[in-house]
Chains A and B, each alone.
Chain A
């Protein structure tokens, strides 16, 4: 391996800084009291406190999962602070009222959100640490009956909707991290698209972890009623820290008859340094329920950050003729570990699912695809197509594919394709011989490799994702 290729994948993290915003941090540790404190701070109704306590009781009985192909020291859940919020003086009505320091933070991240929001017509529900501090375009969305707000606001203003759907896709005791999230989640986004409404713009949230040692337990709930459709964008970056930070989010999507939800993520949390020190632990449960007939849920993710990623955005295809899609690019470098993939659970008749996974490993990183396709006895005529490609950059990294296929209906059709390729010195030399430097060559090869996924992303996001991969892999070529 030439030094060029080594250098190429060693790009320092550019978003590593701590912004100086007063945080209201709860004491470290987890107990029923912590949960009561969170619930009280948020003035929550009794039913929600009960849901939290039930989740906590289940969590206490559960074991941390050992099956993912990732390795990390045991997490001390008592060393985490479960609540941290910038101190908002009051509820903000416009962008002008947002803390200028916060705005500067977004600037540094290359997310000039006020500009972006206006120019691109994106409504931004900004989550800073765990509490929403700004929501734009709310009025415009409200005109067509769309509710897009923080989950805390939703609990306050639309309790019946939240109560009906929260935990209906990911039950409180679903898995270790989901149970933890259900017990202690502080905020997140809520989105409700009423019957027949096509959301006129992409809805977007930028998540950001700011306070050291504050666990992040975001909760997102998106509901598309009959015939409704929405495209939701989630983007993440985090500042640089030496201590690991746990992030255990839960995202639930519900699509009723003929509804369509497209959920896109670009994730660039701090991945640790080139020696594997620090970085975010990203243990996320994302699941969509295609509840109604002809409904469709599509996950697109570009995962480039976090020290450890453990994430399987899934679709439960209950409605007949419903469609589930999963398009993923997961890039790992240095000592990053990713175990990611999807689950497609076919319950309804003629349900269809597509899985396209592109794993890119560089440095000493380890990148695993883990996917389950289950065809239930009821899912006559179900079809799945899976394609899992891995690309290796350098000699020290690893890639694995763990496809699990369970077919319980003879009329189903399941196809799986997999490939592994390598960016070789001879390919880079070929580019060089035509005047093209290694950085550009790698970025061209990677973008070609990820094409099938990128074309699923909304335009601006695709551009961002392309840049991000470049950033992650390019660097001081010497």
Chain B
């Protein structure tokens, strides 16, 4: 939701990033204020996941230009774990499996690390167990997932739910959810979206990377951005997503080209 007196959370200016020497992000600009919900859409390969991972500090991607400010700090100076502790959360498009590490143990360590950063008390295993089970209820997740290895053998949808569980535990300031809706069945989509809505408040912000309008029916975006070839080429309100759903992306590209000609 757009609030009058909200503070700027994230400012991305002319961000360029490369992977293996190939430039993927070619001048991203984006400003996000607290309380807002942004949707980023765009064709496959346009750089949405890359942008998400660059914000989170993935070591494979090199920032070759531009700046990113998060709550007044230079985000690019921070290590990935410091960004996470500062409140940047990335819900992965493809959450990785970690065999041998119990989900409960992993979740507790993540939770306690972030709590400590915020000057709050850690929870011991018993306290955490109660706490996490409450959060799981919210997402209608079976507590059996606590005893399993992190994401190992989870179905696509189960992995996504586990991501949102982590978001619920860590209460980030900025949550970037990369295609959290893909792989979810109809009921799961509603449940997960409900969970995200409960977590949204005027102090945090959510970025939804998605291909489909159906998620945006549940989580209504304040802004919809279209990415193409590594930059945002169009920004609109929630109705832009409906238009994209109806017309596809081609017309956006054509429009961009036409504008470019006018400006040249």
Residues of chain B at interface, number, CB under 8 A: 30
- B98 near A432 with CB under 8 A, answer no
Asked whether any CB of chain B lies closer than 8 Å to the CB of A429, the reply is yes
Q: Is the contact region of chain A dominated by helix, strand, or loop, or is it mixed?
A: helix
Asked whether any CB of chain A lies closer than 8 Å to the CB of B30, the reply is no
Asked whether any CB of chain A lies closer than 8 Å to the CB of B101, the reply is yes
- List the B side residues contacting A424 at CB < 8 Å: 96
> In angstroms, how far is the closest chain B Cβ from the Cβ of A60?
48
- 0/1 string, B138-153, CB within 8 A of A gives 1: 0000000000010000
Selected from A425, A438, A448, the residue in CB contact (under 8 A) with B100 is: A448
- A432 near B84 with CB under 8 A, answer yes
CB nearest to A5 among chain B residues: B59
Asked whether any CB of chain A lies closer than 8 Å to the CB of B195, the reply is no
- A435 near B84 with CB under 8 A, answer yes
- B59 near A429 with CB under 8 A, answer yes
Asked whether any CB of chain A lies closer than 8 Å to the CB of B235, the reply is no
- A430 near B100 with CB under 8 A, answer no
CB nearest to B105 among chain A residues: A444
Asked whether any CB of chain A lies closer than 8 Å to the CB of B58, the reply is yes
The range of chain A's interface size is: 20 to 34
B 88-109 contacts with A by CB, 8 A: 89-90, 92, 95-96, 98-102, 105-106, 109
Question: In the complex, A196 Cα to B84 Cα: how many Å?
Answer: 58
- List the B side residues contacting A431 at CB < 8 Å: 81, 98, 106, 110
> In angstroms, how far is the closest chain A Cβ from the Cβ of B122?
12
Question: In the complex, A361 Cα to B210 Cα: how many Å?
Answer: 40
Question: In the complex, A444 Cα to B107 Cα: how many Å?
Answer: 12
Contact (A430, B92) CB under 8 Å given A421-B99, A435-B114, A448-B100: yes
- B109 near A444 with CB under 8 A, answer yes
- B110 near A427 with CB under 8 A, answer no
Asked whether any CB of chain A lies closer than 8 Å to the CB of B35, the reply is no
Asked whether any CB of chain B lies closer than 8 Å to the CB of A24, the reply is no
- B100 near A451 with CB under 8 A, answer yes
- B100 near A445 with CB under 8 A, answer yes
Question: In the complex, A435 Cα to B84 Cα: how many Å?
Answer: 5
Asked whether any CB of chain A lies closer than 8 Å to the CB of B39, the reply is no
> In angstroms, how far is the closest chain A Cβ from the Cβ of B20?
13
- 0/1 string, A409-441, CB within 8 A of B gives 1: 000000000000100111101111111111010
Asked whether any CB of chain A lies closer than 8 Å to the CB of B79, the reply is yes
Asked whether any CB of chain B lies closer than 8 Å to the CB of A2, the reply is yes
A 16-50 contacts with B by CB, 8 A: none
CB nearest to A430 among chain B residues: B96
- B100 near A433 with CB under 8 A, answer no
Question: In the complex, A197 Cα to B39 Cα: how many Å?
Answer: 72
- A430 near B95 with CB under 8 A, answer yes
CB nearest to B84 among chain A residues: A435
Contact (A435, B81) CB under 8 Å given A425-B59, A430-B98: yes
Chain B residues with CB under 8 Å of chain A are 56-60, 79-81, 84-85, 89-90, 92, 95-96, 98-102, 105-106, 109-110, 113-114, 117, 149, 166, 170
Chain A residues with CB under 8 Å of chain B are 2, 4, 421, 424-427, 429-438, 440, 444-445, 447-449, 451
* Further 5 A-B residue pairs, CB within 8 A, beyond A432-B80, A432-B81, A448-B100: A431-B110, A433-B89, A435-B117, A444-B106, A445-B100
Of all A-B residue pairs in the complex, the 7 with the closest CB atoms, nearest first, are A448-B100, A434-B110, A432-B80, A435-B113, A435-B84, A448-B101, A432-B81
